[in-house]
Amino acid sequence: MSKLNLVIDVDGVLTSGQFLYSTDGKSHKIFGAHDADGLKMIKDRVRIFFITADKRGFEISRKRVQDMGFECELVSEEDRFEYVRDKFGLASTVFIGDGVYDVALLKQCLFGIAPVSARAEAKAVADYVTPSRAAEGAVLDACLEIKKRLLESRALAQLIDKTERYTYERIRRGDGDRLPEFVSDSSLHTIYLHAGEATVEIEEVGKESTVRLKAGQGWYVTPGRGAAWRLKPGLGCDAFHVFSRVDLTKPIVEIVDDGNKQTERLLQGHGIISNPKRVDKPWGHELWIMWSRDYHVLKQISMNAGNQSSLQVHSDKLETNYLVEGKAQVIDQLPIDTSKTEEAMSEDLSKIDINKYKEDKVAGMHWTSSPGIVHRVIAATDYVAYETSTPELDDVIRLQDDTQRKSGRITEEHRAHAI
């Protein structure tokens, strides 16, 4: 993994957030005594940067940051997300922020941290909330957590999204030597390697076993009494992991689609996924890695530059997409009434400027589309994403499509052989 970036918002994180004024204007800020100690612990292994939107107090902030041996940049709140995204990249950046303007960065960066004294909106989306308040050791707390979780652990896990139906994360090789804890629960897990290699170490009653995975392979594990496992990321490991809580009184079933018919296969124990089904699309292709009947789906989606998906909506399907390679524009968060006919929905859309719902996405960003939300992906470059969703894969209402495809399952797309 490339070296981590740590970007810290000064006011409300390094400072108490209070400004001391005199008749001459802003004169002082309150900084803590312990934060520099935390930064010293990690500065040789992490690139550290400070930003502030406070123009009038900028020289105060810059003086304190320079005294610690770092640089501070003046970046407005409105430009903060794009500045960090474009200069550092979200997939390798830890961000510490405290305000409403920090929410997008805290959600989309590799690891988001907020002080306990931060705004509720920031704390709600942060991956970690420090026990100390701003200017009272919050940055020290953050550095200790970064050291433990990101620098001393062999596995670096980034939570992408957690919904009622699934938890979705990206796992890469960390810098340290400590392995993550064994996992044993009542969930169905699916792991797929986008790049590199990894080892799964499994402990079952009376025996131990090892599974070695390489790029393009996956692994699933069902709940097992007395069974436990851990993932050991190897060289260049970049994996996607999704898990769903299961009903232990019912069988766990995978749906297998050979292009002509769908059959069901009982999933027990654990196994390697090495032959995902390929579904060719007018805009590129999909690899169907796991399709569990009752729990989750994991797909790889590859779209060619200059193409776009259908403008579509789902009645029941919930999905989360994570962009791992390329750039795209995404139309999302546009609600529509799916109880209406397709003609009526199209009529409603004709009265809306859908470009208002378009956002630029780059590698490291994700979005979740709920049922009843119109969405579309437009590939600015060749594009690769991983999508996890609930199992209703035929639940597609195509309101616009460049090749005039109808809603639902397109049989011809499913007749390609598995790779």
Instruction: Summarize pLDDT for 116-162 with one digit per residue, the tens.
Output: 999 999 999 999 999 999 999 999 999 999 998 888 888 888 999 99
The three-state secondary structure class of 393 is coil
Structure-block tokens of residue 56: 């009038």
Q: What is the rounded distance in angstroms from the CA atom of residue 387 to the CA atom of residue 322? A: 6
Please spell the DSSP secondary structure of 314-373, one letter per residue.
Answer: -SS--EEEEEEESEEEEEEEEE--TTS-HHHHHHHHTTS-GGGGEEEEETT-EEEE-TTE
Q: What is the rounded distance in angstroms from the CA atom of residue 209 to the CA atom of residue 183? A: 15
Q: What is the rounded distance in angstroms from the CA atom of residue 335 to the CA atom of residue 358? A: 13
**Residue entry with tokens 């654990």:** 270
Q: What is the rounded distance in angstroms from the CA atom of residue 271 to the CA atom of residue 97? A: 41
| pLDDT in the model for residue 225 | 64
**Within 13 Å, how many C-alpha atoms sit on residue 404's CB side?**
0
* Helix count and strand count (H, E) for the chain: 7, 30
Q: What is the rounded distance in angstroms from the CA atom of residue 415 to the CA atom of residue 261? A: 10
What is the residue-level pLDDT of the chain in tens, covering all 419 positions?
A: 468 999 999 999 999 988 888 777 777 889 988 999 999 999 999 999 999 999 989 999 999 999 999 999 999 999 999 999 999 999 889 999 999 999 999 999 999 999 999 999 999 999 999 999 999 999 999 999 999 888 888 888 899 999 999 999 999 987 777 777 677 678 999 999 999 999 999 888 778 899 999 999 999 999 876 678 889 898 889 999 999 999 999 999 999 988 778 899 999 999 999 989 999 999 999 999 999 999 999 999 999 999 999 999 999 999 999 999 999 999 999 999 999 999 999 999 999 999 999 999 999 999 999 999 999 999 999 999 999 999 999 999 999 999 999 999 888 887 755 44
Q: Report the run of H or E that residue 121 belongs to, with start and end.
A: helix 120-125
| pLDDT in the model for residue 418 | 47
Q: Give the 3-state DSSP-derived string for 41-109, with helices as H, strands as E and coil as C.
A: HHCCCEEEEEEECCCCCHHHHHHHHHHCCCCEEECCCCCHHHHHHHHHCHHHEEEECCCHHHHHHHHHC
Q: Report the run of H or E that residue 123 belongs to, with start and end.
A: helix 120-125
Alpha helices in 126-186 (DSSP H): 138-146
Sorted by where each starts, the structural domains of the chain and their CATH numbers stand as 4-151 (3.40.50.1000), 161-414 (2.60.120.10)
Question: Crossing angle for the helix pair 35-42 and 138-146, nearest 10 degrees?
Answer: 20
Task: Judge whether 97 and 114 are in contact, CB under 8 Å.
Answer: yes
| pLDDT in the model for residue 342 | 95
Structure-block tokens of residue 113: 């941290």
Q: What is the rounded distance in angstroms from the CA atom of residue 50 to the CA atom of residue 260? A: 57
Q: Identify the burial level of 252 via C-beta atoms within 10 angstroms of its C-beta, where 0-12 means exposed, 13-18 middle and 19 or more buried.
A: buried
